[in-house]
Amino acid sequence: MTVKRKVEIFSAGCPVCEDVVALVQRLACPSCGVEVLNMNDIEVVRRAKALGVHSVPAVAIDGQLAGCCAGRGVDEQALRTAGLGQP
């Protein structure tokens, strides 16, 4: 019996997200169960938040956010440093 690897792709349906979906599907092997999750669904948003998703597209494998997808997202201090909110 082969255990499937659970691969979750959190997507907003944008062209960048679709590119990631295509990449993951191309790289997936027969033991990878790939699921594309729509961030317009509140349950998907809850799951994404629980995993630490801060921006999309994002990929989680077996319940862990992939390293390439961690630590991203909007950062208030970085925005202020870039000049946001300054006259």
Average pLDDT, integer, range 15-20: 93
Residues 24 and 34: their CA atoms lie apart, in Å, by 8
pLDDT category, 4, cuts 50, 70, 90?
Answer: confident
Assign domain 5-81 to its CATH superfamily: Glutaredoxin (3.40.30.10)
Domain boundaries along the sequence of the chain: 5-81
What percent of the chain clears pLDDT 90, i.e. is strictly above it?
69
Edge-to-edge strands of the sheet including 32-38?
A: 32-38, 5-11, 58-61, 64-65
> If you average pLDDT over every residue of the chain, what do you get?
89
pLDDT at 38: 97
Residue 66's alpha-carbon distances to 47, 59, 80, 83, in angstroms, are 15, 6, 28, 31
pLDDT at 78: 79
